Amino acid sequence: MSAYRQFCPLALASETLTQRWMLLILRELCAGARRFSDIHRGVPGIRPTLLKKRLDTLEFAGIVARPTRGTGSSKPAYALTTAGEELRPVLAGIAGWGQRWARDVRDDDLDPGWLVWTMHRRLNTALMPQGRTVIQICFSDAPAHQRSFWLVCAEGDVEVCLKPPRFDVDLLVTSRVRALAEVWRGLRPLDSELRCGRIRVEGAPKMRRAFPSWLLLSPYASIERQV
């Protein structure tokens, strides 16, 4: 039996798209996540078994596809189909609405690991120095196991490390989770947070000055809040 017992296209689409976690899984796929582990890192609150079930649902609906078995480990585990690609502007519209009108961020929304994970996809690596750049992000108010993260940037790729990498740190960024999250959302300007000391950056002067230009921020940061 259908979920809504209506043949309206919105009702039919809702049967798949409004299942819990589904839009966030699609957000990760649209952001370029292909492997199961990367999708899960972008949606850490979901149980792996439920994530697998949701991905199977998307595959059954023709929204994602997996490569034929035996094509090699270099192939993506999941890829958006034509139907999935058409959801990009839909998700962008929903996210833009959320930036304008959704409720304010609560303390229990502030996941430092997810913040760093989403940041690593929005670094302007073209403006970063040649070679390797290591950025340590330290959250002064986070639990010990979520206090420090490292972004290792090299040749246009950015890797998130949960343990100290085998390289020297070039920049140390220290902040409360909310301060950096609100800058990332576009709710506070980075320059003012740096001036008042709520966010501190330590390292070579040239890198400290360049740091704000490396952060592209959330794709929706430029949308002004209306509430």
CATH number given to 9-101: 1.10.10.10
pTM exceeds 0.85:
yes
Percent of the chain surpassing pLDDT 70 = 96
For residue 145, give every residue at least 6 positions away whose Cβ sits within 8 Å of its Cβ, in sequence order, or none: none
**Is residue 59 packed enough to be buried (19+ CB in 10 Å), middle (13-18) or exposed (0-12)?**
middle
Query: Is residue 76 very low, low, confident or very high in pLDDT (cuts 50, 70, 90)?
Result: low
pLDDT given for residue 67 in this prediction: 75
Note the pLDDT of residue 40.
97
**Helix (H), strand (E), coil (C) string for 113-174:** HHHHHHHHCCECHHHCCCCEEEEEEEECCCCHHHCEEEEEEECCEEEEECCCCCCCCCEEEE
- Which pLDDT band, with edges at 50, 70 and 90, does 227 fall under? confident
Alpha helices in the chain (DSSP H): 9-17, 22-30, 36-42, 48-60, 82-85, 88-101, 112-120, 177-185, 190-196, 205-214
- Identify the band that residue 3 occupies on the pLDDT scale cut at 50, 70 and 90: confident
| Least confident segment among 63-72, 119-128, 192-201, 203-212 | 63-72
Average pLDDT over residues 129-148: 96
CA–CA separation, 190 and 170 (whole Å) = 19
181 — pLDDT class (breaks 50, 70, 90): very high
Q: What is the domain class of 107-214 according to CATH?
A: alpha beta
For position 147, what pLDDT does the model report?
Answer: 97
| Residue 45 Cα distances to 24, 98, 212, angstroms | 11, 20, 30
Domain borders along the chain are: 9-101, 107-214
Mean pLDDT of 167-189: 97
Q: Percent of the chain scored above 90 by pLDDT? A: 93
Name the average pLDDT for the chain.
95
pLDDT at residue 73, as a whole number? 57
Predicted confidence (pLDDT) at residue 122 exceeds the cutoff of 60: yes
Instruction: Tell whether the model's pLDDT for residue 162 goes beyond 80.
Output: yes
Place 74 in a pLDDT band, splitting at 50, 70 and 90.
low
